Structure 1
Amino acid sequence: MVSVPEITLNSGHTMPLLGMGTAVYPFVGPNAVTSAILRAIELGYRHFDTVAVYQTEKFLGEAIAQAHDQGFIKSRQELFITSKLWCTDSHADLVLPAIHKTLRNLQLDYLDLYLIHLPISVKPGKFQAPPPKEDLMPMDIKSVWGAMEECQKLGLTKSIGVSNFSCKKLSDLLLIATIPPAVIQVEMNPLWQQKKLREFCKRKGIHVTGYSPLGARGTIWGTNKVMECKELEEIAKARGKTIAQVCLRWVFEQGVVVVVKSFNEERMKENLDILDWALREEDTQKITQIQQFSSFNTDVLVSADGPFKSAEEFWDGEI
């Protein structure tokens, strides 16, 4: 079984540097999700990232229960579990009910990390992704973050953070936060390297988690560009590795937590096999020269009548 190294967050808690995402598109059925997660725990994965809106929390919870029953883990404390507050619940009075529902779904007493999924709210009612454009509304970040802090103070989560925030939005949050975010989760791969954000977070003591390290190929918004990148293909061939392993290793070497997502057992093993080798200096230099491209589909979150009128406004000109 592989042992994944950990980092220490500004909350004082540790977080494994490699995690497994549990949102899947198209959906493959609850038994397949639970079985894949259970096998991942058996292989050595200890960090799992779930999302309320994609409705996989229950299947992760079932896999955790089975892993304990079958002896793959001795206690809940061996796992690091992340979930996210969806936009429909990004209202001060709905945050605590939302995390309680997540915990019921997971059959857990606490989360290790709870993130605000997006810097935008949606009118309560329609729990769907992407959210209806007519229901988009500004987030009252001060009150929502205050409720997130309450979740941590009550012991419902050990750490709190955000996802898909720009440097400016993160900076604005830090001005009003009593408890600073421990983590920001964003798209990151060799084609979208997030250098500015990473440098900002390093100065502020916030840890970065990268999702879509392979470009999220096969999803409704992902891209094939990462896995079809000629520079990455050349590095992989020279090193005797796969393109996926080169991508994951590059993110890992930036000191960023990387969240991978595959329910294929061989790929799960392959994704773990990035810890005992390193990229050469010339490999890293070649990767820094790759033309940058974000595959995040901001279009579904902008509207002429919404709080953000364009992708540039959503990302504060940082994309």
Structure 2
Amino acid sequence: MRNDVISDILKELNINEKIEASIDLIGDIAVIKSPVWIKNYELEIFKKIAEKLASRMPYVKSIWLTETPIYGIERTRKYIHLYGERKTVTIYKEHDCSFYVDIEKSYISPRLSYEHIRIAKLVKDNEIIINMFSGIGGFSIVIAKYSNPKIIYSIDINPFSVELQKKNVELNNLTEKIIVLLGDAREIMTRDLKNTADRVLLPLPNIDSSFYNAALTSLRNPYGFLHIYEFEKYDGKKECAINKAYEKVKEKFLSLGWKSELIFGRIVRTVGPRKAQVVLDVYTYR
């Protein structure tokens, strides 16, 4: 949700301090996202914001503030409770799909909703897909619902996310289309999924070449499609950020013996001052 809501509430509260914050709505939980770990904001301000937010959105049962950035291989973060019920579990909906979510134990970003459906529309009939960092199943479930893949191997290293994803696959009646796997994607793909996939998703930024190597060796043909999500410096020049991100990926591919072409790129979202998440749709071949 746009930070315009935060600005409106601050004006209503007669608070002149500029607060860097935005709001994510996840089911009946609202998360106020603010870099409080590097900014010297007073907690009391966020409690007042939460009270006003609750009056505007009576359907929200619980409001939390991000206490830390996302950290660790399980991609979780800590939160501070601000208002309402102390609940972290909810059902989140997008594109007529439903997801059990625990915001404390699993990664979720409603801001990737458009990407979920965009990728789904690119998938061709009977493709085999590997999702290397699948979380609670956002990409995998939307793809399975809106396209016709042969199978999706949906991998995550977070056991809580994997258990939730299994429930979500059942909830959306997609057990015949999605196989959920727990573990390090590199190990699983090297051991069990070599020469398997037509399309690979890498929705985790800042990964090293070992993940790219696993993705490339999992392709069943000497060509295929990879969807890569990376962070890049961003000063408002979209093409510049996209091209810089792709050049880095291109070099990694070449070092692994693969050539590539950038089919499409876009800024997915800003993630901080002068920093954005970029998606690269890459066709690779050797």
TM-score by structure 2 length?
0.31
For the pair shown, the structure with the greater C-alpha radius of gyration is 2
Structure with greater helix percent: 1
TM-score by length of 1: 0.29
Could you say which structure has the higher strand fraction? 2
